[in-house]
Structure 1
Amino acid sequence: MSEPPGAAVSLTEAPPPVPDAPSKPLAAQRVLPLRRPGRWIATAVVLVLAAQFVHGLVTNPFYQWDRFGYWFLRPTILDGLLVTLEVTAYSAVLGLLGGILLALARLSKSPVLRAVSWIYIWTFRSIPLIVILLFLYNFSALYQTLSVGVPFGPAFFTFDESRLATDIVVAVVGLSLNQAAYAAEAVRGGILSVDQGQHEAAAALGLPKGYQFRKVVFPQALRSITPNYVNQLIDLVKATSLVFYVSLLDLFGAAQTMGATYPGDIVPLLLVVTVWYLILTTVVSVVQFYVERYFARGATRGLPPTPLQRLRTGVSDLRARIRRETAV
């Protein structure tokens, strides 16, 4: 039987249409994260090594943790800690003030000020701190008396250097001179980081130079100066251990003295010093975080979260993840 003209001839019948498979609701669908076995292996290795380190630290009798507890709050150690805090505080303030003056001199248009500042920074960054302290400690051998007056002329004030240069004065002066050289570069870098338009805008308003620096330039430069200077401040806290060599019993010096008297407690005393330095640097780091957060106002869209805020956010995210997992 012939097909009518115009009709299509099909050799195979078309399959019947398949109904669409039922799909899950969008809320029930899960996106599987990418598997990262290398990360899990590295995490496991680090945790195992950390556990072994803590186990050895706790169970090794050589550390004598009972003696550590005995020495940790002894009056001798606490007196040395107070000396360390005192020297650090004085040196940090004087070093920062000296660094600001040196930075301004380095940026000055006067060639004499620029040259003197550059020579000072070059000199004190080149000489080791222990050499500076020992040189100042023996300074009275070179100059027994110091005077202020007209060069090659009469002296207005004269005083005995050996009476003035006590142990703590030698330590503070030596650390401050060294700290000022490094602080000068941190301050200069912070000032140079301020946009040139801020200088031009302040000048266009007719503000005096001193007012421009105090109210416009320096507050913006502090955002860049703070992390660099706090890093140097942490180095300063640790550098105070060198004042033991100029007969000043700081934290390290007190531990060294007690170690010479009690040779069997050298390791616990070193652990005491280590823990106290860890506490001091941790406190400085916490202060640094909040100072940076304060000066970040207006420079970022949102202030960085505090550690407590991060903890709360982490706990909330963990609870939300657990609820999602249990709902599926």
Structure 2
Amino acid sequence: MTLSAKSVETGIAPVLIENSPVARNVVIPRRHPGRFLAVVILGIVVLQVLQAVVANPNFHWDIYLTYLFAPQVIRGVGWTLLLTVVAMSVAITVAGLLVILRDRDNPVLRGLAYAWVWFFRGTPIYTQLLFWGLFAVLFPTLSLTIPFGPQIITVETKYILTPALAAILGLGFNESAYLTEIFRAGFNSIDRGQAEAAQALGMGQSKIWWRILMPQAMRVIIPPTGNEAIGMLKMTSLVLAIPFTLDLTFATNAISNRLYQPIPLLMVAGTWYLAITSVLMVGQYYLERYFGKGVSVHPARAE
């Protein structure tokens, strides 16, 4: 049996079934030799890079393995995670309040929310952390006074604003400005008619937020918020400006300054940051899948 020119071009060959006058078409998969060639080339390049890195004595792999799970490094990992979680919690709380203020009819509250976003988004995070670290120098004491009267209570600032609290407030307030815009975009993506319909049914404002608006907005909010959480993790390395001396970056820098070997300790810090980021990405994936139930459809299933 010979194939027609059209069959050769389309990759569909007619096959005659025994004892059947009907011819069925069998789809012949298209070959992709370029993909195989690209995989081979990529594999060769990866092996070459790995060989160059692993066999290079300048990386000092013995020092890397020695301090990868050192107690000082593990303590720095713990403090970095704590800073990330608490600062993100502060940022999410403040951003939620700012979104509510921007939705109010009161121009003073709206102006306050705009000013907050304008200031913390418009100035560098490192500069903000420097001012938080110098806050006790600029304001040595905090006092509660009666206007044009005597002081009621006075306390030294260094006993209230500790380096840990300064790091949390500096990171959280800066991040809240970005999360405010993310949250606002998420809620603006919802049709206003849904809230009006819920009000017509007699639902309260709080119930409308939690039962109608929030689940739909989370589909838009979760992906960029996950990226911001990963950015917050790496931004904790800047708390040296306060200075906060318990995070992962400070711990590895202290060891490298003692050993005069910065490369292996940089790889130790990078390994831990990469590992934590990978866990956060997995969590973000499951959150997106949870809040995207009934909306996202797999392309193969859609066919």
Question: In which range does the TM-score fall when normalised by the shorter chain?
Answer: 0.7 to 0.9
What pairs with 1:146-295 in structure 2 (closer than 5 Å)? 146-148=142-144, 157-249=153-245, 250-263=247-260, 265-295=261-291
Q: How many residues align?
A: 283
State whether residues 99 and 181 of structure 1, in contact with CA within 8 Å, keep that contact through their aligned partners in structure 2: yes
| Equivalent AA in structure 1 for residue 209 of structure 2 | F
Q: Aligned partners of 1:207, 1:159: CA distance in 2, in Å? A: 47
| Displacement after TM superposition at 1:294 (Å) | 1.0
| Equivalent AA in structure 2 for residue 221 of structure 1 | A
Aligned pair in 2 of structure 1 residues 178, 163: CA closer, same or farther (>3 Å)?
same
Show structure 2 runs of 5+ residues with no match: 1-13
State whether residues 130 and 242 of structure 2, in contact with CA within 8 Å, keep that contact through their aligned partners in structure 1: yes
Show structure 1 runs of 5+ residues with no match: 1-21, 306-328
Residue in 2 that maps onto 1:299: 295
**Percent of aligned positions that are identical:** 34
Q: Aligned partners of 1:150, 1:114: CA distance in 2, in Å? A: 29
| Equivalent AA in structure 1 for residue 214 of structure 2 | F
| Displacement after TM superposition at 1:220 (Å) | 1.6
User: Deviations along 1:157-188, whole A, 9 cap, x unmatched?
Assistant: 54321111111111111001101111111111
| Displacement after TM superposition at 1:59 (Å) | 1.5
Q: Aligned partners of 2:57, 2:238: CA distance in 1, in Å? A: 30
Larger displacement relative to structure 2 (284-293 or 52-61): 52-61
User: Deviations along 1:113-171, whole A, 9 cap, x unmatched?
Assistant: 11111111111111111111110111122212223466556665543211111111111
Aligned pair in 2 of structure 1 residues 292, 157: CA closer, same or farther (>3 Å)?
farther
State whether residues 15 and 26 of structure 2, in contact with CA within 8 Å, keep that contact through their aligned partners in structure 1: no
The two structures have a TM-score, normalised by structure 1, of 0.79
User: Deviations along 1:256-304, whole A, 9 cap, x unmatched?
Assistant: 01111000x3111110100000011111111111111111123345799
The two structures have a TM-score, normalised by structure 2, of 0.85
User: Deviations along 1:202-232, whole A, 9 cap, x unmatched?
Assistant: 1111112122112211122111111111110
Larger displacement relative to structure 2 (201-210 or 285-294): 201-210
State whether residues 83 and 251 of structure 1, in contact with CA within 8 Å, keep that contact through their aligned partners in structure 2: yes
State whether residues 116 and 177 of structure 2, in contact with CA within 8 Å, keep that contact through their aligned partners in structure 1: yes
Residue in 2 that maps onto 1:108: 104
Q: Aligned partners of 1:70, 1:45: CA distance in 2, in Å? A: 35
Larger Rg computed on CA atoms:
1
State whether residues 80 and 236 of structure 2, in contact with CA within 8 Å, keep that contact through their aligned partners in structure 1: yes
State whether residues 133 and 241 of structure 2, in contact with CA within 8 Å, keep that contact through their aligned partners in structure 1: no
Aligned: 1:49 with 2:78? no
Q: Helix, strand or coil: the match of 1:140? A: helix
From 125, 132, 136, give the equivalent of 1:136: 132
